[in-house]
Every structure is written in C-alpha cells, then in structure tokens.
Amino acid sequence: MSASDSTESKSNMLDIEASLKASFMGGLIKVGGSAKYLNDHKQFKNQSRVAFQYKATTKFKELSIDDMTLDTKQMEVIKEGLATHVVTGILYGAHAFFVFDSEKLEASQVQKIEGSMHAVIKKIPSLNIKGKVDIKLTATEKALTDTFSCKFHGDFLLKSNPATFKDAVQTYVELPQLLGTNGENSVPVAVWLMPLKCFDPKAPELMTGISIGLVMKVQEALEDLKETQRRCNDSLGDKVVESFPVLHKQLSTFLKLCGDYESSLQQTVAEKLPSIRARKEDESSLETVFKDRHTSPFSHEKLTKWLDHKEREINVIRSVVDFMKDVKIVQNRSELDREVLGNAFVVCFVFTSMESADPCLEAMDQYANSLECASTEEEPWYYSDEVLQKMRVKAQDFMANVKSLMDNCFLIAAIENEKFEGATVYSLQGGVLQTENPHARWEG
C-alpha cells in the first residue's frame, strides 16, 4: 500500500529502475496494464489518496544458454546493430492497483482522512473469506468508504472496472480466478537479459546509462510541476473563483502554461536521452535545461509565489463577499446590463483591480514563446493594508444602504477601474452611472 502520489513511489512499487524511469518520464515508452498506474495522478493537492497493490506470479521460463546458437536472421540483427541484449528468462504473473481517492478536502483534513482510508483499505485481504466477499465494517468505516472513489489499473481483463470500495473488494476476490487454472492468462512481469557480446564480440553494446543524479533532476522538475498544477486545481474549484470568471480565466491560463512547459520539458528529455545514451551528447546538455528553469518564470519559487498571491487575492475577495451575504454576484457585463436595465435604481459593489493585466502570466507566456525572461516585480493591490482597510469601509457603507434601501437592486461585480484601487461602489439610475463615490448615501 502507498499513500504517495510521487513517480518515485510508483516506480518502486513496479520495480522500475532509474534508466527505464527516465525513458518513461520523457515519453519514450508507452505503458499499459498495471503500469498505467504511473500516469494516474491526484487532481487536487488537498485530496487523500491510498493505492492498494495486488501481485501474483505463476511460472518462470528460462532460455538454456548452453544449447543456444544464433540463426542467420538473429546474426543479421546483430550485424545491423538493432539489439544489444537477448532475453534469457521470463517471470509470468499479474499486477494490479486499486487507487482510492477522497473528495477535495480542507487542507487540515488531508492527513486525518488519509490515515482513516489506509486503515480500512488495509482490511481488504481479510474481507475475502474462502473466495467470497464478506464486508464487515463499522458504521464509521462504511460512511468513509462511501465518500471515496476507486480506479483500477491491472494486467487483467475485467467485465467492468471497480468504481467503489465495495466493487474493489469484489474484484480483489475474483483476481486469482482470472489468472486461469494454470496461469494461462498471466503476462510477463519481469525479464532477465544477457548482453549479445557474450555470443558475438562484434555485437553492439549499450554505450552509457543515465546517471541517477540526472534522473532525479528530471523527476524533481516534473513532480514539482505536477504539484503546482494540483494546487492550481484546488483554487479552480473554489466558490469565489467560480463566481468571478476573471479569476477562473487567470488560473486556467496559469494551469495551461504550466502544462505546456511540462510537455516542453518532456519533449526535450525525449530528444536528449537517446543521444546521451549513444555518447553523441553528454549529460550537461540536458542538465542545462533544468538549470535554466531556476532563473525562468517557471522556477519553483516564481510558480509558488504566483499561487501564494492568487490564493491571497481569493481570500481577500472572499472576506468581502462573505460580509455581503445574499447580495447577488453578476459574472459578466451582459448579466450586469440586464440587471441595470431591468431596475430603476441599482447599487453595485465593484472590485476594480481583478481584471488588471497579470505580469507573471505575461512573463510565462513570453518565456514559453521566446525563452526570454521578463521582469515581474510588482506589488499587488491585495497586499496593501491601506487598500484592504478602504475596501472594508466601502463594504460596510454598501451594506448599510442594503439594509436601509431594501427596495433597490444591490449587486457585486468585477469591473476594471484604475481610478479606484481594490474596490468602489457605483450607483446607477435608469441604466446610467450616477456616481462612483463609495461614501455616498443613496436614495431610490
């Protein structure tokens, strides 16, 4: 069992060595069956995950080296340099992974839920009573299992993949039978190789492997980008973000730029690895790519800072919106026009700085297209104590009028206005803007 979503943990569970892992991370090999688990990532940072592994072996076949001779076709392969090793042994069996995910959680709940999930999932083998399912859980355990989903990655042909804990237990019980009476449905799970040079001195050989240090640099960069995207997904699911399309657009743009940069890194790895292995290039040609990242808009520090800032902005906006409960939020200009033209008198609390151009996103986009790094040093409005204080005063003033002028229409919107940093209040009559004075008292 594993509660880690890292490539390192998944590779260890599948017994994948460093060089093969590098090829996978660069997209040089495609995975199937149980190895698809490598491509299964958590959607959110604030989400608990536990993976349960099933392993079985059935038979081992070995090539007798003493009696081995190479035929003409095999000699042609060696002559043309198309192979470096020969398979001398195959272990058959099957692997499977049941991946259980919680719903999106509060950050403070992730570890607690993960521990509870681990405890109940650990019971799966004990729920198999002589090939039959006997699910005996406490009411608390059953309530927990009802909240998480299940995904299956395995070397088995199932009629349908399990989607719930109950389905997973039923599938687990059936897996031994699916291998067949004599293991006829099993697949190769491990192979043993011997260099062809042992048979012919002229045979090609693997020139050089990939160092553990370089593999770790590739892994750390890609893992960091995955974690960044998960954290961004957490914010995309926030109710405040769903209420203000401009925030959703910024986060979606950030997510796409990170995904594009990740794909670019993987493509570079795919291009460089074969050349490094063939000694046409040394590892420094790939190490430079990851060194350059540290001074780019896609560095860990800059991506983390952008998310810190965006989460701060969301929290500031939430604090103001929560103060103005039951006031309608209009999500776009068209919806605002309908409200303004449909009511004689409208008072609108306006967030004025949300639609401002984002220099960090612009720098990321510019770097992705030109590899040049632009400056992004600007102090955002939501870190200014003065701006926040003024916003609170405006919100209080706005709500005072909500209570005294209940027959009028009151709204919240995001409209860029450089004259007012953070927020202001508009009063509109007959569809026409009357004032932008946040301290006025309105009469409808």
CA dist 380 → 107, 312, 385 (Å): 25, 10, 11
Dihedral of the alpha carbons of 38, 43, 44, 50, in degrees to the nearest 10: -50
| CA nearest to 254, candidates 237, 280, 266, 236 | 236
Compute the distance between CA of residue 435 and CA of residue 426 in angstroms, rounded to an integer.
6
Compute the distance between CA of residue 31 and CA of residue 372 in angstroms, rounded to an integer.
35
Pairing of strands 187-195, 128-129: unpaired
| CA nearest to 283, candidates 79, 19, 46 | 19
CA dist 437 → 45, 348, 393, 421 (Å): 42, 11, 12, 13
**What pTM was computed for the model?**
0.86
Compute the distance between CA of residue 12 and CA of residue 9 in angstroms, rounded to an integer.
5
In the structure encoding, which two tokens stand for residue 391, read together?
A: 């916003």
Looking at the chain, how many residues does it have? 444
**What value, to the nearest 5°, has the Cα angle with vertex 310 and ends 305 and 313?**
125
| CA nearest to 351, candidates 422, 408, 419 | 422
Mean pLDDT by 10 residues, the chain (444 residues): 94 93 93 96 95 96 74 75 85 97 94 95 83 80 94 94 94 94 93 84 76 94 97 96 95 97 95 90 93 94 96 96 93 91 92 86 86 62 90 90 82 92 91 73 45
Specify the pLDDT at position 442. 46
Q: Is 189 helix (H, G, I), strand (E, B) or coil?
A: strand
Specify the pLDDT at position 234. 96
pLDDT, averaged across the chain:
89
311, containing H or E segment: helix 300-323
Dihedral of the alpha carbons of 298, 303, 304, 307, in degrees to the nearest 10: -170
Compute the distance between CA of residue 224 and CA of residue 322 in angstroms, rounded to an integer.
33
pLDDT in tens, 300-348: 999 999 999 999 999 999 999 999 988 999 998 899 999 999 998 999 9
Residue 40 is classified by DSSP as -
